[in-house]
């Protein structure tokens, strides 16, 4: 009987620990894009944080927030934004003609 209790307690502890180490944005956030993984360069727009996932991480199990920030899952995916390009010499000559 003692061995069955030990196995049950160990299984429950393992299940609880593995469930608590997962983080909300990593589990429920979907695929992590390159935009979320890459740290913005100086002068670039900062990434936006998913507020709901951050609140859930802090309320449920705070190390989950650390995991989300480390993986980049806490940040919102980039929306399709038109990229501005710098004018080149060839483009500026063509526009003047």
Range of the domain at 29: 23-80
Domain-located, residue 35 = yes
Give the Cβ contact number of residue 28 at 10 Å. 13
Q: What is the pTM of this model?
A: 0.57
CA 70 to chain centre: 8
Place of tokens 């049950």: 8
Q: Report yes or no on 38 lying in a domain.
A: yes
Q: Percent of the chain scored above 70 by pLDDT?
A: 73
Structure confidence at residue 75 (pLDDT): 92
Which pLDDT value is given to residue 49?
Answer: 92
Q: What is the domain count for the chain?
A: 1
pLDDT at site 92: 52
> Does residue 43 belong to any structural domain of this protein?
yes
95 within domain boundaries: no
Tell me the per-residue pLDDT of 15-59, one tens digit each, with 9 for 90 and over. 777 666 667 787 778 888 888 888 888 998 889 999 988 888 888
Residue 58: per-residue pLDDT: 83
> Quick one: pLDDT at residue 11?
86
Torsion of CA 30, 36, 37, 39, to 10 degrees: -170
Helices (H), 1-97: 2-21, 24-28, 34-37, 51-60, 63-71, 89-96
SS3 state at 75? strand
The verdict on residue 34 lying in a domain is yes
């Amino acid at each position: 009987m003692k061995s069955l209790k030990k196995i049950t307690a160990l299984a429950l502890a393992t299940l609880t620990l593995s469930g608590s180490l997962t983080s909300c944005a990593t589990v429920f956030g979907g695929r992590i894009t390159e935009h979320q993984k890459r740290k913005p360069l100086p002068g670039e727009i900062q990434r936006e944080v998913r507020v709901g996932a951050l609140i859930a991480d802090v309320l449920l199990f705070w190390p989950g927030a650390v995991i989300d920030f480390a993986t980049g899952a806490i940040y919102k995916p980039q929306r399709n934004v038109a990229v501005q390009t710098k004018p080149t010499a060839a483009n500026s000559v063509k526009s003047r003609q």
